Structure 1
Amino acid sequence: MTSLLPRPRMTFPALADWLDTGWPFGEHNIVRIEESAADGKYTVRAELPGFDPAKGIHITTEGGLLTITAEREARTETKGRSEFHYGSFRRTVSLPQGADASKITAKYADGILEVVVPYDGAEPGKPVEIEVKKD
C-alpha cells in the first residue's frame, strides 16, 4: 500500500516486507498497518492480535511522529513448537500537517488497534500550484 504521507523513497520499496517474510536477518516484530485520510481525520489501523491493550500497547507522539509500541511476553513452555512472534513491536509514522495530537483517540477490538488523528483537512502530500504574478 502506498503511504498517504510523504516519506523518504527507499531504493527497494518492498524491502521491509521482504525482510519480514523470512529473510534470516530481518526484523520479525514489525507492526503491519493500514493508513487512510478522509474528512479531516488521519486513521492508522495496526494489526496486533493477542495483545492486552491495557498493559501491552502504548501510543506516543513527538515531533510530528506517531509511535505505536506493543509488547508480548514469550511463554516458557518448552514442549511443542511456536511460530508466534514475541518481544517488542514498534511502528512509527509521520503525522499529516495540521495534526492535533491533543485530540488523538485509540480503540482496540478483535486484534486491531485503530488510532484516529484529527487534522486541518488539507490532504497530505497533495500538490498545490502557486500562481506567479507579474509586477
Structure 2
Amino acid sequence: MATLLYNTRPSLRPSRALSTMLADMLRDSQAPTTQPTLTFIPAADILETAEGFELHLALPGLKKEAVHIEFIDGQLMISGDRPNPTAAVKEAAATATEANTMEVNTADENKPAVVTSEAPAAPRFHRTETNYGSFTRSFRLPDTVNVKAISAELNDGILRVVLPFDTEKVTKQHIEIR
C-alpha cells in the first residue's frame, strides 16, 4: 500500500525562507531608544607590557578638559561628562536669550526695543545608540605600579593611561640557600 503525505502548510520558496532567516539574524540586537542616557560606562582595555600596564578608555568626542583622573586609596578614578547635543543647543539658546536681554537693556532709550529670537531649535532624537551623560570608572591598582609616574593622554577619542611598574619594589626574588 502506498503512503500519501499531505502538507497543510503552504510551501515556501527556499529563497524566501533564507531571506527571512537572514533578516532575523541581522536585526538590531539593541533596542532603539529616543532619549539619551544620563550616565554611561565607557569601554576599557587593559594591557600589560614589559614596562607596566596600559589602560585604554573609549571616550569619543570628549575634550581633555572634560575628563578628570585621580588616584585615591589605591584606586585610579576616571570621571567626566559628555553632554548630549540637545542639552548643548538648549544651553546655547539660553545664552543667546540672556545676550538679547542685555542688548535691550543697554539700547538707546529713544529707539524702540526689538528682540529677535534666533536661537536654533533643539534637535529631536529618532534613535540613540551613542552614550551621553556623566561617567565614572575606577580601577584598583596593584602595589607594583609607580603611582608618581602615571601619565595620560587623550588622542582620537581614546584615553591612554600609562601605569609603569615600580622598579624599586621587589615583587619576586629567588633566595639561595647557603
Query: What's the TM-score bracket when you normalise by the shorter of the two chains?
Result: 0.5 to 0.7
Q: Which structure features the higher share of helix residues? A: 2
Question: Could you list the runs of 5+ residues in structure 1 that have no partner in the other structure?
Answer: 1-20
Counterpart AA for 1:75: P
Q: Is the 8 A contact 1:105 1:117 kept in 2?
A: yes
Instruction: Give matches, 1:79-90, under 5 Å.
Output: 79-83=124-128, 84-90=130-136
Counterpart AA for 2:152: A
Q: Which structure features the higher share of strand residues? A: 1
Instruction: Give matches, 1:1-135, under 5 Å.
Output: 29-53=40-64, 55-76=65-86, 77-83=122-128, 84-120=130-166
What are the Cα deviations for residues 34-88 of structure 1, in whole angstroms up to 9, with x where unaligned?
Answer: 00112131110001101011x2111111111111112111222243435132211
Normalising by structure 2, what TM-score?
0.49
**Which structure exhibits the higher relative contact order, with contacts defined as CA atoms closer than 8 Å and separated by 6 or more residues?**
2
Q: 1:119 Cα shift?
A: 1.6
Q: Which moved more, 1:74-83 or 1:104-113?
A: 74-83
Normalising by structure 1, what TM-score?
0.63
SS in 1 for 2:135: strand
SS in 1 for 2:85: coil
In structure 2, do the counterparts of structure 1 residues 56 and 116 end up closer, same or farther at CA, with 3 Å as the change threshold? same
Q: Is the 8 A contact 1:96 1:119 kept in 2?
A: no
Cα distance in 1 for residues equivalent to 2:72 and 2:61: 27
Structure 1: which 4+ aligned runs deviate by more than 3 Å? none
CA RMSD after TM alignment: 3.0
Counterpart AA for 1:35: I
Cα distance in 1 for residues equivalent to 2:73 and 2:137: 15
Structure 2 partner of 1:6: none
Between the two proteins, the alignment pairs up a number of residues equal to: 103
